Each structure stands twice: as C-alpha cells, then as structure tokens.
Chains A and B, each alone.
Chain A
C-alpha cells in the first residue's frame, strides 16, 4: 500500500499480486476529511500497511482495530505537526520536533 500527496487529496494505492494478476487500485481521500474504509476484514495482512499510511499521511481507516496506535512514528511526534510525508511538512521541522536537531 502506498500513500501519495497529490495536492488537495491524499491518494492511497493498493498493490495486489496473486497468480498471474498484478493490480494497483487507487483511491483518493480529500485532505479536509481523511477517512477511508479499512480492508482488514477482507485482507487481514493489510493491518500494518494501513497503520503505516495512517502514521505517514494521517488517513484514518475506519474498521482497522489498531488505528489508535503508532507503528513507525516516535512517541514524541507532536500532535499539531501534520503527518511527515505530506508535502507541506518540511524535513527540518520534523527533525526539530522529534529532537534530532536542536
């Protein structure tokens, strides 16, 4: 699963591979209301990928039981800083916020 910042929307790409079929499915959620349905009930293995997109882009997957936790981000990542992989978030701000650079 890949998250993409495309201006006003966040795109989420689902990459599937089974047998001879390789498929990428793209959904788009507006940045003002970042909600998408979870696919954990169909593909249980997607749980960590959804958590990753949630951490990095702030998309909330309704139905994923672990949406209230962090997977990759540090515990001291500030709440008021937008998610790190959005284009508006500058790398210098992230470094400062998590204490890598003072």
Chain B
C-alpha cells in the first residue's frame, strides 16, 4: 500500500510530514465530573511523537478576583483553588501575608498547621494510589484505598469541622484548636493508615497487573526533571532529594523530623513507592507533632490593613512545591496575589514523559504526575489517512489499555 503523503501546517510547529501519523485530540469536553483539559496527541502508529497542551478550561480568574477582596476573604477563596490540597493553598497564602506583618504566629498554631497539612498529604497520596490502580486495571486496590481514605477524611472533619475545604488556616494563626481528648484518636488512626501503607507496598511489589503497567513506564531521568523544573514526588522518584519541608522549613517543620523519601528509577512504579512511603513518614510526623505540641494561644487578632511590601512563600503541597507571591499597598485589599501550582510546574515534564509511550499508557502516565485535572474522559480520534473520526470515553481508553496488556483477561 502506498503511503499517503500530506503536509500540514501546525501553528508554531513548522511543517510536519505525514505518513501514518495520526492526530488524537484529547479532551476537553466530557460529561463526567473530572476537570477538563485538552491535549493534542500526535501518534505514529501506536507511539506518541508530540503533545501540545491547551489548559485553562477551568481558569476562574482568581488572581484578578483577589484584587477586589479583603486579605481575610482571599484566604477562603484561594482555599477553593483545589479540593484535594485546599489546606496547602490557604497555608501558602497566609504564610506569604504573615511575611509582610511583624507578628509572630503562636507555636501551637504552627503545630496544628503541620498536623493538618500532613493529614492532607496522606489523603492526597491515598487518593492517587487508588486512582492509579483504577487506570491500570486493578480496581480492587481502588476500592481498598478509597475505603481507607474515609478514615483520614473523618479525622480531618473531627479537627476542622469540614471534610474537604478545611477553612482552618487564618492570618496569624488557625481557627480551631485540637483538644487533648482528640490526640489519642489522631495517633491511633494515622498509625492504622501507616500499617495500611505497608500492606499496599506488599501488594504493589507482587501484583502482576501493577508490575506490568507501571514498571519501566514513564521513566523520568534526574537531569530531565531538573531541566524542566519538575517538583514534588515526581523528582523524588527520580532520585533528587528536593523537599521544601526539609530544605526550607516552614510551620513547625523545623522542630519535627521529616525523612525525605527518594527512589532512583523514576518510573511510575517508583512513584507508587515514594507516595506510599510518604504516607508512613507523614504518619510519623503527625505522631511526633501531637506528642510535642506546645500549649498557648492558637491565633492573634490583627488589624485588617496589611503593611505595604512584597513577599513570596513556598510550601510542600502533596503534589509538590506550591508558590505564592503577594504584594500589598498598605490597605485591606491586596495589590497582587500570584499562585504557582505544582501541576503547572509538572506539566512540561508530563508532556516529555508521554513522548515515546504508547496510547495505552496515556492514562497511567498522565495520572503519574497526580494532575489536578483528571481528564481522561472523551477522546476523539481522527485518522488522517481515511478522514474517519470516532470517539472514545475515558472508560473505553482504560479498557483498551487493559486489553493491550492482558489480552486474555475478560472484562
């Protein structure tokens, strides 16, 4: 069969010669609840040769909105940037604002911040392990892990009063105290979760489905991670010990020992290990912080006007380094607030990882960066040779991936 030759001009990409190369638009419209993003995947046969991202479908203009709201109101608005790392967002924001003020945050508040931040990390990592199990075709793991996730959500609810948006951090303190009567419960439950993390590590090491789908898939080298400014568990799985909690301690991290978990392989399998190990280190940190928590007040009352100046703060959110920059003009309303989320930082790396992978690996590799957009739903395919079009939902793509790896399995 003669190869059809076509030329196509993609904006900015120059001329691309076509032979059996296909364009797969990935997203953005889908009926499910997951967030919409759009990736144009260029395929040669089964292999991805290029990816072009188009994000911003859920861009709500928070940075503009922040310039019309008071400093305290913004704490709760930025918390709503993301449901999973909601406390991390409000924490990074209030730390940046506190940098402009002369007040010293009470020690007890710093410990409470650490405990809730680590609980959030456990929650986020559990959620990710479950989702990876789902996309890899091992739904039992998904069911188990999401049952354990309820434990940590209940714990967060007991502390903050809310399961998802904690609304706990406030400028110069926290809003709710952890009573002594709750300490035992926190330690007992987090210990249980650490035990579960060990149990899941045993499963991950032996389960053939996970081994086949994650080993040597999406390998990230340390140099590439550094070049593309990747953050969080992704770089730690590639062997770089970069963790804001240890390198530039904030909250009570200076007093509480944190082990930075690293692996050297850089594939999705080592990411599973890094995240499961971090659940254990988070549980240890919570255990230590609960026993060492000092007494005293939990917040200061401060005036609504924040002194003029500029300040930047960064923290280690579950997904990686989260960065906030604030500028005040001395009034009760900020001049500028800027947020840099870890998913945006990891996106160039994800695009690089996708190149050279097969289409069946797209869900697993994209999930590997723990994207804040889980958009696997609705793929439309364009076969440029025959001009035929068809669509697949996320579920069909998942089934396709499972069939490709385990053809004998009945679904």
Query: What residues of chain A have their CB less than 8 Å away from a CB belonging to chain B?
Result: 1-5, 13, 15, 17, 22, 24, 43-49, 52, 55-56, 65-74, 84-85, 91, 94
Contact status B56-A45, CB under 8 Å: no
Contact status B228-A71, CB under 8 Å: no
Interface residues on B, range: 20 to 34
* Chain B interface, >50% SS class: mixed
Q: Please give, as numbers and ranges, the residues of chain B lying within 8 Å of A2 by CB-CB distance.
A: 325, 336, 338
Other-chain residue from A3, A22, A73, A94 in contact with B56 (beta carbon distance below 8 A): A73
Counting from the closest, the 5 A-B pairs by CB-CB distance are A45-B229, A72-B56, A45-B228, A2-B338, A72-B59
By beta carbon, the residue of chain B nearest A72 is B56
Given contacts A45-B227, A71-B55, contact A15 B323 (CB under 8 A): yes
Contact status A91-B64, CB under 8 Å: yes
Q: Please give, as numbers and ranges, the residues of chain A lying within 8 Å of B312 by CB-CB distance.
A: 15, 24
Any chain A CB within 8 A of the CB of B169?
Answer: no
Contact status A94-B12, CB under 8 Å: no
Given contacts A15-B323, A17-B314, contact A69 B230 (CB under 8 A): no
Any chain A CB within 8 A of the CB of B345?
Answer: yes
Known pairs A17-B321, A44-B228 / 5 extra A-B pairs, C-beta < 8 Å: A2-B336, A4-B336, A15-B325, A48-B347, A91-B68
* Chain A interface, >50% SS class: mixed
By beta carbon, the residue of chain B nearest A26 is B310
Question: Which residues of B in the span 44-81 have a Cβ within 8 Å of any Cβ on A?
Answer: 53-56, 59, 61, 63-65, 68
State in angstroms the CA–CA spacing of A43 and B68 once bound together.
34
Contact status B11-A69, CB under 8 Å: yes
Any chain A CB within 8 A of the CB of B344?
Answer: yes
Contact status A48-B344, CB under 8 Å: yes
Any chain A CB within 8 A of the CB of B348?
Answer: yes
